[in-house]
Amino acid sequence: MKVGIIGLGLIGGSIAKAIREKHSDAVIVVYNRSADPLKKALKDGIANQVTMECDEEFKDCDFIFLCTPVQTNITFLDKLAPFLSEKTILTDVGSTKVNIHEAVDKIVPDACFIGGHPMAGKEKSSYDNSSAKLLSGAYYFLTPSDNASDEDTDRLKELIRSMGCTPKIVEPENHDFIVGAISHIPHLAAYTLVKLVKDEDSSEEIMRETCAGGFKDITRVASSDPTMWEEICMANKDNLISLLDKYIDDLEEVRDALVKGDNEGLHNFFADIKEYRKSIVG
Ligand code: NAD
């Protein structure tokens, strides 16, 4: 099996490490724009070949994973086009799917493309923070294009399962709405909560100094890479605008209950949500 990885950061590195762990004889070819992670991947025995150009090394891959930020992944499609063969399944790990499917249809319409998105990650970027364990136990969305046969999808599913993930097939539009609600809005909530504290803190910064576990848990992802999140939000802006409208309505409901002194309304709001939160398993 020959696997190409474009972008050796947190997710590209974790995929390469998970494949190496489960498929010791796989040939893993890696592109990265900077040399440092490539040197480390060679030294770690994760990569067999490395390159700072998207070139012939990617010929005859069974799988190619695009692992750069969501808009940047698109810029690699025409560079890879000459090296996609009959057996190559082209996939990505980007957090949005409609934009990459539209670009693939335009730039490499004959490619066997299956969008992908592992529901695992963290706020820290880069190869240094990657690990095979990061993906283990995670759901992994797949969005097969019309060019991908059931057999192609099964090949990718098998690889994903071998990394310890559970594949979940969805339409690209549905994917973007789902992750808008469970990932993108929570990031916006985290960024804006930190902003609230930053704006309201005293000159002695007592809030910053004393904030405890709850605040740190809920805002952990506000340490994520701004460029990555700028690209994700812009690629999913229509869903995010309508989900934000709904979220603002919910905040208004809480505010109204406070203004009216509606203890019962506030209690019922919390009780309802607590029950649903309990149903979300670890
Ligand atoms: P990262 O910053 O750790 O890695 C990004 C990689 O892309 C690096 O190798 C970097 O060199 C490369 N890159 C960035 N800009 C580039 C450019 N202009 N040209 C060439 N290479 C460039 O980020 P990551 O967390 O691994 O995210 C990669 C992808 O994974 C993104 O599409 C993201 O949406 C998706 N994703 C991230 C998470 C997460 O929690 N971090 C989870 C699931 C999916």
Q: Residues spanned by CATH 3.40.50.720 within the chain?
A: 2-169
Tens of pLDDT, residue by residue over 250-260, are 999 999 999 99
Q: How far apart are CA 34 and CA 217, in angstroms?
A: 32
Mean pLDDT of the chain: 97
Which residue's CA is minimally distant from atom 31 of ligand 1? 69
Residue 213 neighbours by CB under 8 Å, 6+ apart: none
Q: Residues spanned by CATH 1.10.3660.10 within the chain?
A: 175-278
Which residue's CA is minimally distant from atom 7 of ligand 1? 68
Residue 76 neighbours by CB under 8 Å, 6+ apart: 6, 54, 66, 68
Q: Which of 140, 116, 131 is nearest to 64 (CA)?
A: 116
Q: Locate the ligand 1 atom nearest the alpha carbon of residue 13 and give its number.
A: 26
Q: So what's the pLDDT on residue 130?
A: 98
Mean per-residue pLDDT, 126-130: 98
Q: Which of 222, 225, 158 is nearest to 196 (CA)?
A: 222
E-assigned strand segments in the chain: 2-6, 27-31, 49-51, 63-66, 89-92, 112-118, 139-144, 166-169
Q: Which of 141, 138, 241 is nearest to 188 (CA)?
A: 241
Tens of pLDDT, residue by residue over 201-248, are 999 999 999 999 999 999 999 999 999 999 999 999 999 999 999 999
Residues 75, 78, 82, 86: is their CA dihedral positive or negative?
positive
Which residue's CA is minimally distant from atom 14 of ligand 1? 68
Burial class (CB within 10 angstroms; exposed 0-12, middle 13-18, buried 19+) of 111: buried
**CATH 1.10.3660.10 is right for the domain spanning 175-278:** yes
> pTM, whole model, 2 decimals?
0.96
Residue 54's φ and ψ, nearest 5 degrees, are -90, 85
**Single-letter code of the amino acid located at 221:** V
**Res. 98: pLDDT tops 90:** yes
Mean per-residue pLDDT, 47-67: 97
Whether ligand 1 lies within 6 angstroms of the CB of 69 is answered as yes
In Å, how far are 48, 65, 118, 177, 187 from 135, measured between CA atoms? 21, 15, 7, 22, 20
Q: How confident is the model at residue 95 (pLDDT cuts 50, 70, 90)?
A: very high
Out of 52, 68, 77, 234, give the residue to mutate to test ligand 1, the one with the largest number of ligand atoms within 8 Å of its CB: 68
Q: So what's the pLDDT on residue 281?
A: 81
Cα of 211 to ligand 1 centre, how many Å? Answer: 30
Q: How confident is the model at residue 272 (pLDDT cuts 50, 70, 90)?
A: very high
Cα of 225 to ligand 1 centre, how many Å? Answer: 9
Q: By percentage, how much of the chain surpasses pLDDT 70?
A: 100
Whether ligand 1 lies within 6 angstroms of the CB of 15 is answered as no
CATH topology of domain 2-169: Rossmann fold (3.40.50)
Q: Locate the ligand 1 atom nearest the alpha carbon of residue 118 and give its number.
A: 43
Cα of 214 to ligand 1 centre, how many Å? Answer: 28
Q: Which of 164, 144, 135 is nearest to 67 (CA)?
A: 135
Q: Which of 82, 79, 133, 137 is nearest to 110 (CA)?
A: 82
First to last CA, the chain: 34
Whether ligand 1 lies within 6 angstroms of the CB of 225 is answered as yes
Q: Locate the ligand 1 atom nearest the alpha carbon of residue 14 and give its number.
A: 26
